[in-house]
Amino acid sequence: MKTISLLMVLLAGLLHGREFTGKNGKKIEAEIVSRTETRVELKLKDGKTVDVAIDSLSGVDQLYVKTWEDPAARTERLKGVDLGEVLAAKGYFGLTVESGERGTFVLATVNGKPGKFLVDNSAQVPLIKQAALEKFELVMTVVPAQGPAGGNTVIGTVQPKSFGTEDQSFAPPECYVLTLEHFPKELLEQIDGVIGGQFLLDHGAILDYAGKKLWLK
């Protein structure tokens, strides 16, 4: 690779890639091929490469060059990144997921009590099984009969204080209380309620089947 001044690069004509600006105000278009601590190799429109001192660029471009990472090196680095660590850093926490013949289930605490919930996107509002109210120490507010929700008539509502894990939780929205009679007996005996729909959207849900986690924030 031949080393030339930035001024000569600026005279190379129309280029492609990112627009770089020199301290003298001149602009070029090029793409980074590689860099060292002090110099950057740029690829011009005609395919030629040139070597430029990083400190000959504008402050913004110097920062861009110094934080640039080779795509191949970045791919190798990302292979070792743990998804859970990334999501935790973004404010998510993970709930354990179980999959079976009858669906996908999430293990979560309600008011600090462990429960099991079916994931069903047709349930726009979280549903709590009437038989689970005592378990979660929930007091139902009886409401006038409402239209069917997931095949059942809403018989009341409850407002849990928390939903999540033993270590992390948030105040969930008001939940409908249903008997869930339309569920097969074997399934009904396994679950305490249903989550899905708008609840998952509101909490930016990410379902990681490989890691057996539902991530919420």
Q: How far apart are CA 14 and CA 30, in angstroms?
A: 9
Pair (11, 56) in one structural domain: yes
CATH number of the domain to which 27 belongs = 2.30.30.700
In 3D space, the residue among 202, 201, 173, 205 whose CA is nearest the CA of residue 92 turns out to be: 205
In this model, does residue 146 exceed pLDDT 70?
A: no
Pair (45, 87) in one structural domain: no
Which is more confidently placed, 17 or 97?
A: 97
Place of tokens 């669906």: 103
Q: For 162-206, how does the pLDDT look when each residue is reduced to its tens digit (9 = 90+)?
A: 999 999 999 999 999 988 878 888 899 999 999 999 999 999 999
Exposure pattern of 109-130 as b/e (b: 16+ CB <10 Å)?
Answer: bbeeeebebbbeeebbbbbbbb
Residue 191 lies in a domain: yes
Q: For 173-183, how does the pLDDT look when each residue is reduced to its tens digit (9 = 90+)?
A: 999 998 887 88
In 3D space, the residue among 177, 184, 182, 175 whose CA is nearest the CA of residue 151 turns out to be: 182
Residue 1 lies in a domain: no
Pair (66, 94) in one structural domain: no
Pair (73, 87) in one structural domain: no
Indicate the residue among 77, 100, 116 that finishes a domain. 77
State the average pLDDT over residues 109-120.
Answer: 96
Indicate the residue among 28, 57, 77 that finishes a domain. 77
Phi, psi dihedrals of residue 3, rounded to the nearest 5° = -90, 125
Pair (169, 134) in one structural domain: yes
Q: What pLDDT does residue 129 have?
A: 93
Pair (73, 38) in one structural domain: yes
- Min mean pLDDT across 50-54, 153-157, 165-169, 187-191 is at 153-157
Q: Which domain holds residue 34?
A: 6-77
Phi, psi dihedrals of residue 35, rounded to the nearest 5° = -155, 160
State the average pLDDT over residues 1-29.
Answer: 62
Indicate the residue among 46, 77, 108 that finishes a domain. 77
**Residue 40's pLDDT band (cuts 50, 70, 90):** very high
pTM of the model: 0.67
Paired residues of 142 in beta bridges: 156
The share of the chain scoring above pLDDT 90, in percent, equals 58
Pair (194, 123) in one structural domain: yes
Q: How far apart are CA 89 and CA 80, in angstroms?
A: 16
Pair (36, 139) in one structural domain: no
CATH number of the domain to which 197 belongs = 2.40.70.10
Pair (186, 202) in one structural domain: yes
When divided into structural domains, the chain yields a total of 2
Biggest CA-to-CA distance, the chain: 81
Q: How far apart are CA 179 and CA 181, in angstroms?
A: 5
* Other beta carbons less than 10 A from residue 59's beta carbon: 10
Q: What pLDDT does residue 145 have?
A: 57
* Other beta carbons less than 10 A from residue 159's beta carbon: 13
What lies within 8 Å, CB to CB, of 52 at 6+ separation is 4, 6, 9, 39, 40, 41, 42
Pair (97, 30) in one structural domain: no
Q: How far apart are CA 54 and CA 65, in angstroms?
A: 7
Pair (56, 132) in one structural domain: no
Pair (196, 91) in one structural domain: yes
